[in-house]
Structure 1
Amino acid sequence: MNLIYKGKTKDVYELDSGKVLLKFKDDVTGNDGVFDPGANTVGLSIEGMGNLGLKLTKFFFEKINDKGIPTHYVDSDLNEQTMTVLKAQPFGKGVEVICRYKAVGSFIRRYGLYASEGKELDAYVEVTLKDDERDDPLITDQALEMLNIMTKKEYKKLTELTREISGIIKEELSKKNLELYDIKLEFGRVGKDNHIALIDEISAGNMRVYKDNKYVEPFELGKIILN
C-alpha cells in the first residue's frame, strides 16, 4: 500500500484494491495542550485515543449505514487500528461541516456580541474550507459555487445529510444522558455517480459533548458511549 497523506489524527494509504486505508493515531487537535475539535493543529496526544476513536467511528458509521445514509465506510480492524473505506473525492481541497446545537467555541468567538455561551441553536450548519494557513475560513453556498467547489444543489444535500447524521448521533448520546453541543463532519463525492457521502471519522475528538452542563473530555466520552 502507498502512503497518500500524513494527517493530524490519521495517516491515509491507498490499497491495491483501489480502496483506502486509514490508520488512526493518538493525536487530537487543540491549542496549548487543550483539546479543541475546531483547531487546525495537533494540541496533545492521548494514549489509546486512536483505538478509541476507531471504535467510536465503527459504532457510529455502522448505525448510519443501517439507516441507508451514504458513507465511505467498508470495515475496520481494531487490532491494527485501521479502517478500510471507499475512495472519495474531496470538495476542492476539502471542506468541513459543523452542526451546532448550542453556542460554544468558535461560534462564540465570532458572534459573541449576539450570543452567550450555551445559547440554543437549531442544528445550525456551517461550512469551512480546510485551509490551515487561513484558519479554516467560513464560506457560503454562493462562494462555494462561484469557486467551483460545489454546486448549490450539492450544498443543499450536504446540509440535509449533516442534520440527519448529527440527529442520529445526538439521539445515541442522549441514551447515555449526554448532550451534543456541536460536531464536525466531512463529506466527499464517492462512486461512479459522484454521490455525496459521509467520509473521514466520527470520534470523540470531533465533537463537544456535555453531561450535567459539564464538558466531557474526549477519552472519557468515548468510554461512556461504548460502555
Structure 2
Amino acid sequence: MEKLGEGKTKEVYLLDGQHVLLRFKDSITAGDGAKSDVLPGKGVLNAQTSAILFRLLERHGVETHYVGMEDERTMIVKRLKMVPVEVVLRNVATGSIVKRLPIGEGEVFQPPIVEFFLKDDTRHDPLLNYHHMRYLKLFSEEEARKVEDLAVKVNEVLKKVVEEAGFVLYDFKLEFGRLDNRLILGDELSLDSMRVRDRSGRILDKDLYRRGFPLEVVRDSYSEFLDKLRRVV
C-alpha cells in the first residue's frame, strides 16, 4: 500500500479514497523526539486503547475518525485533513503548565483549562491563542470555541470511564481534522496522549518514560490501564 506519511509513533497508508490505515509503531519518544526507544508491544497497546476510547466517544455522540481495526495494531480511519494544533484539556495541574505559570503541582481546575499548541517540534510546540490561530489559518475563533466545547464533552466521557477503572484523569491531548467542512476528532487516545494516575498518585502514562523509568515498567503500566479499561467499557 502507498505510504502517505510517517510520524514518530505512527505510519499512515492509503486504503481508498475515503479511508487510511493508521499503523501504531512500537517507538516511544519524549522531548520532541530528542529521546527515543523501541518498546515491544507498545503499538498494539496504544491501538487497542485508542479503539476502545474512540468507540466509547462515538456512542456518546462525539464524531471521530475511527472506522474499525485492520489488525491488532492498525486502525481503519476516515481520511482527514489534519489541523496542526494540539488541544490540551487539563483537570489537574502537572507538566508544562506548572513551569509556565504560578500554579502548583496537583491543583485541581474547576472548570478544566483548555489550551492550544502549535504542532511544531522545532519550536517546541508553542502556545497559541485565538488571534494566532486565525492569522495562521488554523482555526477561526468560532472553530476554536467549537473545539473547546468538544474537548469538554470528551473530558466528561473520558473522566468518568477512567474513574470507573480506578484512576484519575489529569489531562489529555486531542487533534482534529477536517472532512466535508466538519471538524472531526482524529489521531489517537492512549497513554501517550493522556496523563493518568491511580488514587495514590502512581503514574501510569508516558511521564514514566519521560522520568527515566525502565521500559518494562512503562509497558506494564500501559497494559494495566488497557486491561482495567476493558473491564469497564
Shorter-chain TM range is: 0.7 to 0.9
> Does structure 1 residue 85 correspond to structure 2 residue 74?
no
- The correspondence for 1:204, drawn from 191, 211, 219, is 191
> Cα distance 1:131–1:197, how it changes in 2: closer, same or farther (>3 A)?
same
2:228 — aligned with what?
A: 224
**CA distance in structure 2 between the aligned counterparts of 1:163 and 1:174, rounded to whole angstroms:** 16
* Pair 1:41–1:186, CA change in 2 (3 A): farther
Q: Which amino acid aligns with 1:69?
A: V
Tell me the CA shift for residue 223 of structure 1: 3.2
Among all aligned residue pairs of Structure 1 and Structure 2, give the percentage whose two residues are the same amino acid.
33
Gapped runs of 5+ residues in structure 1?
32-38
How has the CA–CA distance of structure 1 residues 180 and 166 changed in structure 2, closer, same or farther, with 3 Å as cutoff?
A: same
Task: State the 1:89 CA deviation.
Answer: 1.1
How many angstroms does 1:45 deviate by?
2.7
CA distance 1:136–1:187, shift in 2 (3 Å): same
Q: CA separation in 1, counterparts of 2:8 and 2:123?
A: 17
1:131 is the counterpart of 2:131: no
Q: Using the alignment, how far apart are the partners of 2:178 and 2:156 within structure 1?
A: 22
Q: What's the secondary structure of 1:205's corresponding residue?
A: coil
Name the residue aligned to 1:168. 157
RMSD: 1.6
Paired amino acid for 1:207:
M
> Conserved in 2, the CA contact under 8 Å of 1:27 and 1:45?
yes
For the residues of structure 1 that align with 2:40 and 2:11, how far apart are their CA atoms? 17
Range that drifts further, 206-215 or 43-52: 43-52
Aligned to 2:176: 187
Deviates more, 1:8-17 or 1:201-210: 8-17
Q: In the TM superposition, what is the alpha-carbon distance from 1:188 to its structure 2 partner?
A: 1.1
What do residues 81-122 of structure 1 show as CA deviations (whole Å, max 9, x unaligned)? 21111111122xx111111011101111211xx211111123
What is the CA-CA distance between 1:142 and the residue it aligns to? 1.5
8 A Cα contact 1:8 1:42, kept in partner: no
Displacement of 1:43: 3.2
Instruction: State TM-score, norm by structure 2.
Output: 0.86
The two structures have a TM-score, normalised by structure 1, of: 0.88
Q: 5+ unaligned residues in a row in structure 2: which ranges?
A: 206-220
1:214 aligns with 2:207: no
Residues 1:44 and 2:37 aligned together:
yes
SS of the residue corresponding to residue 214 of structure 1 reads coil
